[in-house]
A and B are shown apart, each in its own frame.
Chain A
Amino acid sequence: MTLNMGPQHPSTHGVLRVALELDGETVLAARPIMGYLHTGMEKQAEYKTYTQSIPQTDRMDYLAPMSNNLAFCLAVEKLVGIEPPPRVQAIRVLLTELTRVASHCVWLGTHALDIGAMTVFFYCFREREKILTMYDQVCGARLTASYFRVGGLAADIPAGLLERARRFVDEMPAHIDEYEALLTKNPIWLARTRGVAPLSARDAIALGATGPMLRGSGVKWDLRKAQPYSGYDTYDFEVPVGASGDAFDRYQVRVEEMRQATRIADQAIRRLEEIGPGDYRLRDYKYVLPPKEQVKTSMEALIHHFKIVAHGFFPPRGEAYHAIEAPKGELGFYFVSDGTPRPWRMKVRSPSFVNLQCLSTMVHGRLVADVITAIGSLDIVLGEIDR
Chain B
Amino acid sequence: MTALAPERVAERLRERFPGVTFHRQAGEAVRDFTLLVPAESLVEVCVFLRDDPELDFAMLSWIAGVDWLPREPRFEVVYGLLSLSRAFRLNLKVQAGGENPRVPTVSGVWPTADWHERETWDFYGIEFTGHPDLRRILLPEDWVGWPLRKDSPLGYEEVAFTHNMPQRVKPAPALTKLKPRKVRYRAQ
Contacts and interface: CB of A to CB of B under 8 A. Distances in A.
Interface of A: 34-35, 38, 40, 42-44, 46-47, 78-81, 205-208, 210, 219, 221, 226-227, 315-321, 323, 330, 332, 334, 336-337, 344-345, 347, 349, 353-354, 357, 386-387
Given A332-B61, A337-B29, A345-B66, A353 B84 contact: no
Nearest to A315: B29
B10 interface: no
B29 A81 contact: yes
B59 A332 contact: no
B85 to A, nearest CB: 10
B89 A321 contact: yes
A221 B30 CA distance: 26
Nearest to B114: A357
A321 B66 contact: no
Contacts of A47: 154
Interface stretch (B40-48, B134-142, B160-168): B134-142
B60 interface: yes
B31 A334 contact: no
A210 B60 CA distance: 11
Interface of B: 27-32, 34, 58-62, 64, 66-67, 78, 80, 84, 87, 89, 91, 110-112, 114-116, 119, 123, 136-140, 147-148, 154
Given A79-B31, A205-B59, A208-B112, 15 more contacts: A34-B137, A35-B137, A40-B154, A43-B154, A44-B154, A205-B58, A206-B58, A207-B112, A321-B62, A334-B64, A334-B78, A337-B29, A344-B66, A345-B66, A349-B80
A79 B29 contact: yes
Nearest to A349: B62
Contacts of A320: 29-32
B34 A319 contact: yes
A43 B157 CA distance: 14
Contacts of B111: 206-207, 357
Nearest to B34: A319
Of residues B67, B123, B137, which shows the largest number of chain A Cβ atoms within 10 Å of its Cβ?
A: B137
Contacts of B80: 321, 332, 334, 349
Nearest to B80: A321
B60 A221 contact: no
Given A42-B123, A208-B110, A317 B154 contact: no
* A34, A226, A319, A357: residue with the most chain B Cβ atoms closer than 10 Å: A319
Given A205-B59, A206-B112, A318 B64 contact: no
Nearest to A354: B112
B61 A318 contact: no
Given A206-B112, A345-B64, A78 B59 contact: no
Given A42-B148, A354-B115, A206 B89 contact: no
Contacts of A219: 84
A357 B115 contact: yes
Contacts of A344: 66
Contacts of A345: 64, 66-67
Contacts of B89: 227, 321
Nearest to B66: A345
8 contacts: A79-B29, A206-B58, A208-B110, A219-B84, A227-B87, A319-B31, A332-B80, A345-B67
A35 B29 CA distance: 34
Contacts of B84: 205, 219, 221, 226
Contact of A332 (B62, B114, B154): B62
A112 B140 CA distance: 33
B29 A318 contact: yes
Most chain A CB atoms below 10 A, which of B31, B78, B114, B136:
B31
Contacts of B112: 206-208, 354, 357
B60 A319 contact: no
A46 B32 CA distance: 21
A128 B66 CA distance: 39
Nearest to B123: A42
A287 to B, nearest CB: 13
Contacts of A347: 62, 64, 78
B27 A317 contact: yes
B109 to A, nearest CB: 9
B154 to A, nearest CB: 5
Contact of B31 (A42, A43, A78): A78
A321 B32 contact: yes
B148 A316 contact: no
Contact of A318 (B27, B60, B123): B27
Contact of A386 (B58, B123, B138): B138
A152 B44 CA distance: 43
